[in-house]
Chains A and B, each alone.
Chain A
Amino acid sequence: MAYVPLADQDSEMEMHHPHSWVTKYVWSQDHKVIAIQYGGLAIAVGVVALVLSLLMRMQLGFPETFDLIDPSSYYQSVTMHGMIMVVYMLTALLLGGFGNYLIPLMCGARDMVFPFLNMLSVWVYALSVIILMASFFVDGGPTGGGWTLYPPQTAMAGTPGHDMGIVLMLLSLAVFIVAFTMGGLNYVTTILQYRCRGLTMMRLPLTVWGIFIATILGLFAFPALLVSAIMMLFDMLLGTSFFMPAVIESGTPLDHNGGSPILFQHLFWFFGHPEVYIVALPAFGLVSDVLSTHARKNIFGYRMMVWAIIAIGGLSFIVWAHHMYVSGMNPYFGFFFATTTLIIAVPTALKVYNWVLTLWEGDIRLNAPMYFAIGFIFTFIHGGLTGLFLGNVVIDLPLSDTYFVVAHFHMVMGVSPVLVIFAALYHWYPKVTGRMFHEGMAKAHFWCTFLGTYAIYLPMHYLGFLGVPRRYYAMGSTDFIPETAQDLNVTITYAALFVGAAQLLFFINIFWSLRNGEKSGPNPWGSASLEWQTPDTPPVHGNWGDELPTVYRWAYDYSVPGAHEDFIPQNVPESVEPTADEQHFDPSHDTSKADV
């Protein structure tokens, strides 16, 4: 039964145009408003998590100085910082924020395919954040079991938040997964089914590819977290023993026996490892577009970039147990998971080479988004190389649960995606607001953040080699850790406070520029991709005016020989401008292809 694509239908989809302030800004079904709601809320909870990390640093740098921080609140800060940053900030900002804003614009669509579901998604996400924040105010406070929530520790009386805190955390995660599923189904269906005329999958900007594969990973990985959350909730509330073995606590046996804590670890990391790539792949996509635009050069090896994203996404499902080397496993499993882990380095390195080769002999414009994008290449190589250490079982065993691990994952999935997020926020700020940000302030923000994060995380590698364990409230006096390690801790704390304060530059910049920034015009960077070709800036509801655009080329026609300008927008017909060198890219043999 043939189905007529929307771009070919006489009457288009009905837009639910807003009628009042409430339907325009609160219960909005416009993907752009939803994106800003998602992004704003994600950044707000990110600030909470940032403050928690600064509290931890103050304790580590200056132990026995602050009454505010006791062992319980330290562990609660560790837990909430990790969980908020990974799930509620990075995932929500990259997929809910950038995904919502850019997918319909880059696909030449009027909105997501199901705008109502999209609206539900953001408000259910808000509900999950409320539940999470509520755990700060219940008896016992939020859970302090570490962001991995390993049972039986999270459920034991010695762990802060072992009663209400963990229950609210699990509940909030389950609600978040519902929100993500509603949004994620929308993103995937929109990318697959709602592209404009001439826009084939292999003409999509890499941003869309990254978000597309990341969302699929999310739809397949979050179920494992949902299942483990449900099972652990049953353990907490109904007294079942899925994950709880027989435990004797202060001489009295608990009412559990026969459960398997290892099962939780498997389920958690079956979610947890793809989660790394749920965060990384959209960042890979965004940074590719920023680099290509500001280097005035097409992205190097577009097809290989797409296949690398797909390969990384596929491999990410068969590496999870490299987080569990110290949990104990059959040596052959360790061998298998180490091998698959190291294989991921191949497509990842391919992407890094292609970014560098995109810069090679480019007409590089060193503005703020480009600073952040190039900074990302540094931090990502750095974090990626330490990942090769930790992927090997024999090297992982002594380094596991030390500051080396903390440094590794903060470089690779903390700093790197955050630098991309800043690059992307600055890059698309003119499209979202119609105004330019303050360039000098943005560059100052870059140098403070980039150098500051190196000042934080480089010494941590060294602490890890010394064997300083992570998640410790205070070291006390230990034989194997030299006293000078504390000097490094103090330095790191100063750097962390500095970087935290430097983020004010970002907030001042974006709010100040809302009113005082120069008018940017529709396409200040001279970008070729479709979102910069909207008739209005910022784009209005419906995005494209009377008629949907038609795409004639890929998104990377920069510096084409013989063209009038150094970029050719995607929606410029081939007859008007000479096409990119045919041998470089030939996405589909016949662009005027009609559906049968």
Chain B
Amino acid sequence: MSEAAISGAGTMPGSSTLVDDWSADKQAYHVPWGKAMMWIFLVSDTFIFTCFLTGYLHVRLTTTEPWPLQSEIFALSFGGDPIPLILIAIMTFILITSSGTMALAVNFGYRRDKAKTFWFMVATAAFGASFVGMQAFEWSKLILEEGVRPWGNPFGAPQFGSIFFMITGFHGLHVTAGVIYLLTVAFKVKKGHYDKKGYEIVEIAGLYWHFVDLVWVFIFAFFYLL
């Protein structure tokens, strides 16, 4: 940034870089098209989840019946006393771990270590798939054993089930799509499809994956803990 000294004189160092990027010709960010587009998509997707969560908070405030106690509904007992939220804790742990393996895959991608990139992406996808599997277990337990339905449940406000299935379902679809996306990219990496194009695609897939994780943190906090 040789111009930084000129146009950014007297301003903060970060802001001068921003001004330079935006006043440049050709492109506003030094990133590939796909990465720029993924960022914009993720901001748009953020609005979707924000609307879902805001809608949930509003419904929870206005509904006429009491809201069920999540810690009791989402408890599992292993032999003895029920442990509240244990399944969700494991799911959250797995998803956050998958972000770590994804970051390693991105790192090895830029080092052009195809084998390690491939295996770390497959590991990430496997964590994601196990997350979806546990979600399926949670859903089936709620539906079959506890009688929770989208239109009603034995614990209290019917909106509890509606919101639960809608938001976790929408997030689960995101995770499922992410698993498919990661596997597609992983196998293309293995075949050497990106040797000429560069390995930014691994990072782009990683952006999506980290986003899905981050959204889960908010769903976890707002729906299960609040």
Contact = CB atoms under 8 A, between A and B. Distances in A.
8 contacts: A195-B27, A241-B159, A242-B59, A242-B159, A257-B64, A259-B62, A589-B7, A593-B24
A262 to B, nearest CB: 8
> Which bucket holds chain A's interface residue count?
35 or more
Contact of A240 (B2, B44, B62, B159): B159
Given A195-B25, A195-B27, A595-B24, A260 B151 contact: no
A590 B3 contact: yes
B217 interface: no
Interface in B43-69: 43-45, 47-48, 50-52, 55, 58-59, 62-65
Interface string B12-28: 00000000001111111
B150 A238 contact: yes
Given A114-B37, A189-B33, A223-B44, A231 B166 contact: yes
Given A241-B158, A242-B55, A113 B24 contact: no
B62 A2 contact: no
B110 to A, nearest CB: 7
B226 interface: no
B151 A239 contact: yes
B115 interface: no
A202 B23 CA distance: 7
A44 interface: no
Contacts of B52: 227
Top 8 closest pairs, chain A to chain B, by CB: A240-B162, A223-B47, A239-B151, A227-B51, A223-B48, A5-B26, A258-B63, A219-B44
B32 interface: yes
Given A223-B47, A223-B50, A239-B150, 5 more contacts: A192-B28, A270-B51, A589-B6, A593-B25, A596-B2
Interface string A569-596: 0000000000000000001111101011
* B contacts with A: majority SS: helix
B41 interface: yes
A499 interface: no
B24 A240 contact: no
A90 B56 CA distance: 32
Interface in B184-225: 200
A181 B200 CA distance: 22
Contacts of A596: 1-2
Nearest to B199: A1
Given A3-B32, A192-B27, A219-B43, A113 B2 contact: no
A199 B43 contact: no
Nearest to B166: A234
Nearest to A264: B55
A551 B47 CA distance: 36
A188 B40 contact: yes
Contact of A3 (B30, B45, B50): B30
Given A193-B29, A238-B151, A239-B150, A260 B166 contact: no
A549 B80 CA distance: 74
Q: Which of B2, B63, B65 has the most CB of A within 10 A?
A: B63
B31 interface: yes
B73 interface: no
Contact of A551 (B23, B25, B55, B159): B25
Nearest to B47: A223
Interface string A257-301: 111101100110010000000000000000000000000000000
B29 A181 contact: no
Contacts of B110: 1
A197 to B, nearest CB: 6
A116 B63 CA distance: 45
B150 A189 contact: no
B57 to A, nearest CB: 10
A185 interface: yes
A194 interface: yes
B180 interface: no
Contact of B166 (A113, A202, A230): A230
A259 B159 contact: yes
A200 B158 contact: no
A213 interface: no
Contact of B33 (A113, A196, A199, A231): A113
B166 to A, nearest CB: 6
A226 interface: yes
Given A227-B51, A240-B150, A257 B26 contact: no
B86 interface: no
A190 B64 CA distance: 49
Interface string A218-239: 0111111011101100100011
Contacts of A591: 25
A263 B59 contact: yes
Contacts of B63: 258-260
A240 B33 contact: no
Contact of A199 (B26, B40, B45, B200): B26
A201 B23 contact: yes
Contact of B41 (A8, A181, A195, A196): A181
A367 B47 CA distance: 44
Interface in A1-52: 1-3, 5-8
